Structure 1
Amino acid sequence: MKRIYSGTRAPKYHSGKWYWDKKTDSLKFEVDNDLSDAMERYIETNGFKFLRTITPEEELIYRQKFARSENTFDYDTLITADVLELVIFLMPKEFLTKRLLIFLHLPAVNRLFHALNIYFEYFLRLVELVLIRRDELNGDMAQIQSEQTIKMKRIFSIYLSQYRMLVARNYSVILKGEGDMAKFHHFNQSSQVSATIKDKWFHEQFLAVAIQIVWISMHRRAYNVIEMEMNRLFRSEHFMIYRPEYLKFTPAEKSLLYGRKNKVVNYRIQISPLIQELENVPTEDLPILWIGERKYRGTDIRIATIELEFIVPGAQLHLIDVPRGIMGHPKRLYDTLLNLNWPAVRGEHFSLENDPYHILRQPYLQIPNIDDTNIRKMSKHYEHFLNLYRIYEPYSSHMLSMCLRRDSIVSSAIADVNVDIYKRCEEDLERTSYGPNVDQLINSYFKVVSRLRKSVKHNADDTCNIALRPSSKKHMVKKTGDEHFFN
């Protein structure tokens, strides 16, 4: 049965089971968890409490006021923007500042979230391999590692290091504070003084939001592993918050997961693992630093594979058969909190042969060619003549003000939902306004259609002028997730 979200009817979000009560001789519903329990209501991320679940009234308010609009690109598909808007609704009150909300919706930050999803998709697979091999090497039926197994692990570690390099490249753009990032840089150019305390709390809040985004994007699995690795990437091991739930890796496992460039030195001169990846980049990996900026031209299949995973829009990942958590999945298969709705999945009749979104198929690590590293050193790179241009959907000022007033909007809306139906009908009859007139509705409709069809005249003229300029030799190439590109 489909849920109805129209009007002020609150949908049933509770999970549980029906049972027959013999005392009352009636059918009753038993909820799995109690929202009044603080441990079930919240989840702690780096010391901040995010909502783990919401009430039916809060779900209704989120869908009507805070969720991504139907007028945006790829509305029926899950992308990073959907996860970000949900996290903003679930985040603590002290996070709702204008500075942080604007920062989270900037293109450079969006590309960092995009790279983090790519990295953690591969990292979680490698952690699973490490745990499986740990069990295989212990006990009475322990297996012996062959030389080929060690080489294969070394190649997996190099691949993970390349994804980490992609994250570091996007993170360094934010650290430099150039362009849109200048106003968020800790160093004040006018007073020549660093706002250390203010920047510290800003960084802590951003890190907590990034953990939540990646965790929800990865089907809410391996939360402790994601939190531990995220803190290690952005803090280094000296400043990590260790918890009993975190996995403890052996030195051999750390060398596999953290890569050859990971170095732990005195905390006074320690730098984060992300920046360590950029200190000594191998020659064959240099094109990774230009992925998303220039179209790669060369014979290195590995670079072409990473570029394909990065520049393909999140809504079109099923076309290249690449899984990345919930990215690119239809919204109809998920509930409001972006949990997989298995009854809806069963209605799609997926099978192992027909599973475009990798819901039934288990993600796996493809066994690489043992001589892959030597082959890559012999590959050739040619001069580029194609540049990638991004078209990013901006964050509206209306949504910004809505998020800043989130608590007051939720409390007032809940009060309206709980009003008696008789009083609500009386208020509807007393109203004299009937909403916008016909001309306003038509103008807003054509405004949305022209934007979604990319038919705005000045945008088209600017595109032609750049694409056909013979001196620049630049062409428009179509690309990525929440950012859209003209061809």
Structure 2
Amino acid sequence: MDSVTMDYYEQMCDTDEDDEESMRIYEGGHWTWDEKIQGLNFVSNNPGTETIAVKLPKKPPTGTIQFRDNIDIMEQMRFRRRYQRKIKVGQLDVVTLQDVKDIALFTAPVTLLSPKLINLLHIPTTERFIRALIFCCQYYLQIAEEMANRMKEQDTKIRTPACDIIEKEYRDNLADVRLLVAKEYCTMIMGGADTRRFHHMGYSKRKHSLSDRDARLFEMLLRMCVQIVWLALGRKSFHHIELEVNRIFKSEIFNATEHNLRTGYISKMSKSERNVLLGCVKQGFKLNTCSPLMNEVMCERNIDYRLLALGVVKYPELSPRLKYMLLAIASPEEELMNLGVTVGVLGMHRSLFDIMLHPLPPISAKSKLKSSIPSGVTASTKSASSISQKSQNRIIFPCIMLPPKERKESYFPSEFPIDRETPRHCSEEQLYRWQCRLIKLLRPRYSSCLHRSSNYPDSIPMK
């Protein structure tokens, strides 16, 4: 899109300035949560000012949730102007996890969003959790494709003892990568570290268990994570990602995605594929069956104890394998490409993608499109999206190359380190933008009334 067309859409977006003017009434205060009305209260810092309340839906949907994928140019310009992360002076213009989260939040249905979910997505533990999930799904798809090719080669090649060694290495790598997700997930469900305020028994864990609300919050988080992982992996293999994420979190019995799609992909796997891809599976009674993530933590195998606190505890010495995993889940995105670490599109230059992180076509395809359009006519959304669809077939990020395990076993030291890694704080500016957008979207649907505010840990200071 040329500069003239871009300026035209920028001017068209200026017609929505009245929406921004309406948000100025919320300056000089903060938002709090009211348990009685299940809604947000705006508390002004000026004494004597009345409180504005906005009610939220009591029960978010738990069925099929559709995100918007075909965003028109007007919406893209509005997103870039108001909600896209702004590059600071001296900062590299690369794709970060915040960029992917911003697109997922912008395209999510309003019924899925809630203040708790937005706050939960902007804490360091959840950032490590999502980074580890992207890393895990990318490596799973990579190994699944490799195993499918190996099974095809068995028709013309003889299986040797070296095949068992290679497949055992794949299985161990997948188990360690799943463990990176499992340790963060355990922290979240137990309410540890910065997730205490989201615990189902309250911040001090002394209230009655709100299991229904907790289940719905994590159901929304899981659906949001599937969308984030799909975006971070270049919009490829959505159903594979959704099936695998639901399987490792809910087990095969409670995999709602598999029950809806009825693919039967596990039954179609060979014995070798199941041993490599499914990991540590322990079947039990339906209600007592643990998810594969929990099984990885409690699996009877040699697990390096440093994996269980990677990114949280600062270890004095790490093997090249553990350093690679640490960089994948906790290092700044600006350093990923220089260090040779692959986590989807994270760390790649944003100039390689459009506003909604669609991979841009090569320069030759761009020139062909420009030459085929008459002068004075801009490219349509359909033609641009078709070229973007073709560009998705090419590999946009390299494969994961995990360093091998150390031959010597790691024993427990005489004393464990107590120093903690410096947490990477999320963008408070983006958090504030998405909370304000949620309030702006909900105000036309829910009536406003006057209520007294109540203190809640999730209050957001207004800037």
TM-score (norm 2): 0.69
Question: Which amino acid in the other structure matches residue 309 of structure 2?
Answer: W
Question: Which amino acid in the other structure matches residue 256 of structure 1?
Answer: V
Q: Return 5+ residue gaps in structure 1 as ranges.
A: 12-43, 348-358, 412-487
Higher relative contact order (CA 8 A, sep 6+): 2
Give the distance between the partners of 1:385 and 1:56, measured in 2 at CA: 51
Matched, 1:377 2:409: yes
Aligned equivalent of 2:222: 207
Q: Do 1:300 and 1:379's aligned partners in 2 also have CA atoms closer than 8 Å?
A: no
Q: Do 1:68 and 1:75's aligned partners in 2 also have CA atoms closer than 8 Å?
A: no
1:398-435 superposed Cα distances (whole Å, 9 cap, x missing partner): 41333204647999xxxxxxxxxxxxxxxxxxxxxxxx
Deviation at 1:280, TM superposition (A): 4.3
Deviation at 1:387, TM superposition (A): 3.8
Question: Which amino acid in the other structure matches residue 190 of structure 2?
Answer: K
1:123-272 superposed matches below 5 A: 123-138=140-155, 142-188=156-202, 192-241=207-256, 242=258, 243-245=261-263, 247-248=265-266, 249-259=269-279, 261-272=280-291
Measured at CA, do residues 220 and 301 of structure 1 come closer, stay the same or move farther in structure 2, by a change above 3 Å?
Answer: same
Measured at CA, do residues 306 and 393 of structure 1 come closer, stay the same or move farther in structure 2, by a change above 3 Å?
Answer: closer
Aligned equivalent of 2:345: 326
Measured at CA, do residues 72 and 66 of structure 1 come closer, stay the same or move farther in structure 2, by a change above 3 Å?
Answer: farther
Structure 1 stretches of at least 4 aligned residues deviating more than 6 Å after TM superposition: 378-383, 408-411
Deviation at 1:105, TM superposition (A): 1.1
Question: Which amino acid in the other structure matches residue 237 of structure 1?
Answer: E
Give the distance between the partners of 1:72 and 1:282, measured in 2 at CA: 48
Deviation at 1:146, TM superposition (A): 1.0
Question: Which amino acid in the other structure matches residue 134 of structure 1?
Answer: M
Measured at CA, do residues 376 and 215 of structure 1 come closer, stay the same or move farther in structure 2, by a change above 3 Å?
Answer: farther
Give the distance between the partners of 1:407 and 1:111, measured in 2 at CA: 29
Aligned mate of 1:104, from 114, 117, 121: 121
Give the distance between the partners of 2:196 and 2:209, measured in 1 at CA: 13
1:302-321 superposed matches below 5 A: 302-321=321-340
SS of equivalent to 2:66 = strand
SS of equivalent to 2:67 = strand
Deviation larger for 64-73 or 95-104: 64-73
Q: Return 5+ residue gaps in structure 2 as ranges.
A: 13-60, 367-393, 446-463
Measured at CA, do residues 273 and 83 of structure 1 come closer, stay the same or move farther in structure 2, by a change above 3 Å?
Answer: same
Deviation at 1:149, TM superposition (A): 1.4
Give the distance between the partners of 1:408 and 1:192, measured in 2 at CA: 29
Deviation at 1:303, TM superposition (A): 2.7
Q: Do 1:77 and 1:315's aligned partners in 2 also have CA atoms closer than 8 Å?
A: yes
1:285-325 superposed Cα distances (whole Å, 9 cap, x missing partner): 11111211234344744333323433432222111122222
Measured at CA, do residues 401 and 75 of structure 1 come closer, stay the same or move farther in structure 2, by a change above 3 Å?
Answer: farther
Deviation at 1:80, TM superposition (A): 0.5
Question: Which amino acid in the other structure matches residue 150 of structure 1?
Answer: D
Measured at CA, do residues 376 and 262 of structure 1 come closer, stay the same or move farther in structure 2, by a change above 3 Å?
Answer: farther
Deviation larger for 76-85 or 92-101: 92-101
Question: Which amino acid in the other structure matches residue 209 of structure 1?
Answer: M
Matched, 1:339 2:358: yes
Measured at CA, do residues 10 and 136 of structure 1 come closer, stay the same or move farther in structure 2, by a change above 3 Å?
Answer: farther
Q: Do 2:311 and 2:330's aligned partners in 1 also have CA atoms closer than 8 Å?
A: yes
Give the distance between the partners of 1:196 and 1:408, measured in 2 at CA: 25
Measured at CA, do residues 271 and 236 of structure 1 come closer, stay the same or move farther in structure 2, by a change above 3 Å?
Answer: same
Aligned equivalent of 2:454: none
Question: Which amino acid in the other structure matches residue 273 of structure 2?
Answer: E
Q: Do 1:125 and 1:364's aligned partners in 2 also have CA atoms closer than 8 Å?
A: yes
1:442-461 superposed matches below 5 A: none
1:422-441 superposed matches below 5 A: none
Aligned equivalent of 2:297: 278
Q: How many residues align?
A: 362
Measured at CA, do residues 68 and 251 of structure 1 come closer, stay the same or move farther in structure 2, by a change above 3 Å?
Answer: same
Question: Which amino acid in the other structure matches residue 323 of structure 1?
Answer: T
TM-score (norm 1): 0.66
Deviation larger for 307-316 or 156-165: 307-316
1:221-244 superposed Cα distances (whole Å, 9 cap, x missing partner): 111110011001111111002114
1:84-99 superposed matches below 5 A: 84-99=101-116
Q: Do 1:58 and 1:410's aligned partners in 2 also have CA atoms closer than 8 Å?
A: no
Q: State the structure with more CA Rg.
A: 1
Compute the RMSD of aligned alpha carbons: 3.4
Measured at CA, do residues 86 and 320 of structure 1 come closer, stay the same or move farther in structure 2, by a change above 3 Å?
Answer: same
Q: Do 1:216 and 1:338's aligned partners in 2 also have CA atoms closer than 8 Å?
A: yes
Aligned equivalent of 2:83: 66
Deviation at 1:263, TM superposition (A): 1.2
SS of equivalent to 2:428 = coil
Question: Which amino acid in the other structure matches residue 400 of structure 1?
Answer: W
Give the distance between the partners of 2:263 and 2:62, measured in 1 at CA: 13
